């Protein structure tokens, strides 16, 4: 019972973090048909920016409670700037190419940004643990949980609700769904697809950077964190079905709880479990849980 509760809570915390990363990735794929490997770099840039911004803010002697605002501002700034650079600087030149080629393009961007990060922040590790400690811990029976981690669940839920609301209940969101459904037809009906692309990529970028920023207080930020996170986010997105936001939500819950179960019961198979689940799902539903079947073109 004790282990089961721990698995469920840990799994949900992990899933919340995964969802914030994966939501941006899947949104960008759904609209632009780009499987963005550089999403990992956006995550890393977000984490570094947040860590240095919080350290700078606190060392200036401001109130510690403000560090959460600083964290969000850092995520917004990092995601917008990096996202604009990637979209306007590189991707714009490549639109219309094969999906596989676009993977390679974003792989190149990832390689470049990995080194840009090292040039800006160096190779030493950064940490900004204060926002994590500030919230304290919650005693729950024999277990303690960090309130920061529990707050992460709330943030992820807010992101999920906001995305659902925007996509299904607002005019702009519906236009986005239309573009996801059929890009050529929506362009023919007068939707400015290029603008939709830029906006989508920026939203995806901010989500990626936000996930990084939210992680910055929990872990020490070191080179290579973006590369690690991207393969996890892929597993989530592929399980749920590429381009589907509900899919990302369900996928992150599956992966989160599977991983937490592995960590508590059999730590040796931690990475194995994530991809094992992914292979299992894909073997049964080749395009993921929530993907619509594509028509074969002759």
Binding residues for other proteins, rule: CB under 8 A, are 35, 90, 93-94, 97-101, 103-105, 107-112, 114-116, 118-119, 123, 227, 231, 234-235, 238, 242, 267-272, 275-276, 278-279, 282-283, 286-287, 296, 298
Nearest approach in angstroms of CB 103 to other proteins is 6
What is the nearest approach in angstroms of other proteins to the Cβ of residue 143?
26
Residue in the block written with tokens 């929506």: 186
Query: Radius of gyration (Cα) for the chain, nearest Å?
Result: 19
Task: Between 153 and 263, name the residue whose CB sits nearer to other proteins.
Answer: 263
Closest distance of CB 66 from other proteins, Å: 34
**Which CB atom, from 101 or from 143, has the smaller least distance to other proteins?**
101
Nearer to other proteins, 131 or 247 (CB): 247
What minimum distance in Å lies between the beta carbon of 278 and other proteins? 6
- Where do the DSSP E strands lie in 23-142? 137-140
How many alpha carbons fall within 13 Å on the CB side of residue 162?
Answer: 11
Compute the distance between CA of residue 261 and CA of residue 19 in angstroms, rounded to an integer: 18
Q: Which is nearer to other proteins, 114 or 177 (CB)?
A: 114
- Distance from the first to the final alpha carbon of the chain: 55
74-77 long-range contacts, Cβ below 8 Å, gap at least 24?
Answer: 74/46, 74/49, 74/50, 74/209, 74/213, 75/46, 75/49, 75/50, 75/206, 75/209, 75/210, 75/212, 75/213, 75/214, 76/206, 76/209, 76/210, 77/49
Smallest distance from the beta carbon of 55 to other proteins, in angstroms?
22
Number of H helices, E strands in the chain: 12, 2
Q: Which is nearer to other proteins, 99 or 182 (CB)?
A: 99
Q: Which helix (H) or strand (E) holds 283?
A: helix 270-284
Residue closer to other proteins, measured from CB, 122 or 136: 122
Q: 89 — phi, psi (to 5°)?
A: -80, -35
Residue whose CB is less far from other proteins, 117 or 202: 117
Best CA proximity match to 163, nearest among 193, 210, 204, 212: 204
Q: Residue 97 CB, nearest distance to other proteins (Å)?
A: 8
Shortest gap between Cβ of 284 and other proteins (angstroms)?
11
């Amino acid at each position: 019972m004790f282990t089961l509760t721990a698995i469920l809570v840990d799994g949900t915390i992990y899933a919340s973090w995964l969802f914030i990363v994966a939501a941006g990735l899947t949104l960008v794929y759904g609209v632009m048909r780009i499987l963005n490997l550089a999403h990992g770099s956006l995550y890393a840039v977000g984490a570094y920016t947040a860590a240095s911004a919080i350290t700078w803010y606190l060392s200036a002697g401001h109130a510690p409670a403000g560090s959460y605002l600083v964290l969000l501002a850092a995520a917004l700034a990092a995601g917008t700037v990096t996202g604009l650079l990637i979209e306007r600087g590189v991707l714009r030149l490549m639109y219309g190419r094969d999906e596989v080629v676009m993977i390679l393009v974003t792989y190149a961007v990832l390689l470049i940004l990995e080194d840009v990060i090292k040039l800006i922040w160096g190779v030493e590790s950064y940490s900004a643990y204060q926002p994590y400690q500030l919230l304290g811990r919650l005693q729950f029976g024999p277990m303690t949980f960090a309130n920061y981690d529990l707050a992460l669940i709330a943030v992820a839920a807010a992101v999920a609700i906001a995305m659902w609301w925007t996509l299904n209940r607002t005019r702009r969101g519906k236009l986005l769904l239309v573009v996801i459904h059929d890009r050529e037809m929506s362009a023919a009906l007068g939707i400015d697809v290029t603008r939709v692309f830029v906006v989508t990529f920026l939203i995806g970028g901010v989500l990626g950077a936000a996930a990084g920023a939210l992680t910055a207080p929990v872990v020490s930020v070191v080179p290579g964190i973006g590369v690690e996170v991207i393969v996890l986010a892929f597993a989530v997105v592929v399980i749920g079905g590429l381009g589907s936001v509900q899919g990302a939500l369900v996928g992150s819950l599956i992966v989160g709880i599977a991983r937490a179960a592995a960590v508590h019961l059999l730590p040796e198979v931690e990475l194995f479990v994530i991809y094992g689940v992914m292979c299992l799902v894909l073997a049964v539903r080749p395009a993921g849980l929530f993907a619509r079947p594509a028509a074969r073109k002759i």
